[in-house]
Amino acid sequence: MQSMQELALSLNNPRGLGMIVGVCAAILAVSALFFVVCGKRDRLGALLVPTAFVELSVVFIFLTNSLEEMGGMDSSSKLMPYLWSLPLLAVSLFQLIRTWRAPRLKAVGHGRVDKVFWAFAIVAAAISQFGTLGFFVCTAAMLALLMLLLGERRILLILGTAACWVLFTWFVFNKVLLIGLPAGTLFSKLFV
């Protein structure tokens, strides 16, 4: 267990990130080849997405081993990564098995690459503004914009979902874990 912790700690830097990305890309390439050889070419993309999420959750679980335990705290710094990674791993494995066992799929005539680009741009913009606008504002705006992008038009549902997520994360981090999320420079100046 100690050697796994040391390995996780050594990979928790920019060079280690490159190594992790390279290994994950290689595993995805081998997985794609395996899926094609097994006759699952018709659902290759549908199999690679949960495979990538399985990899992502395994990497998060692995890197969580390098987090240090903080003395005098009621909760562990490893709690939230495990709470996010383990369900992601379970759901991804379930989806991978479900997709593998599904009957042959008809070829899709076209996709919506523009929506993929816009979703990526929305998430990137939200993450880039955490320092200025804070986690709660960015996350609420990101959720609302993604729901609009995916075709949801009921404003009450969009606003309710964003508000419930913000309240849930505020409660979990600020009240349960006693960890403050970034308020952003814009709002920290208003309330100081």
- With CA atoms as reference, report the closest residue to 95 among 48, 129, 150: 48
Q: Quick one: 192 and 156 in the same domain? A: yes
Q: Quick one: 103 and 119 in the same domain? A: no
Average pLDDT over residues 51-75: 73
Which domain does 153 fall in, by range? 110-192
pLDDT band at 33 (very low <50, low <70, confident <90, very high): very high
Q: Quick one: 144 and 184 in the same domain? A: yes
Average pLDDT over residues 167-180: 79
Q: Quick one: 168 and 90 in the same domain? A: no
For the full predicted model, state whether its pTM sits above 0.75: no
DSSP letter (8 states) at residue 165? H
Specify whether the CB–CB gap between 180 and 173 falls below 8 A: yes
Whether the pLDDT of residue 192 is over 50: the answer is no
Per-residue pLDDT tens for 112-133?
Answer: 677 788 888 888 888 888 778 8
Phi and psi at residue 77, to the nearest 5°? -70, -10
Whether the pLDDT of residue 107 is over 80: the answer is no
User: Which residue would you say has higher pLDDT here, 182 or 74?
Assistant: 182
- Give the contacts of 165 (CB within 8 A, at least 6 positions apart): 139, 140, 143
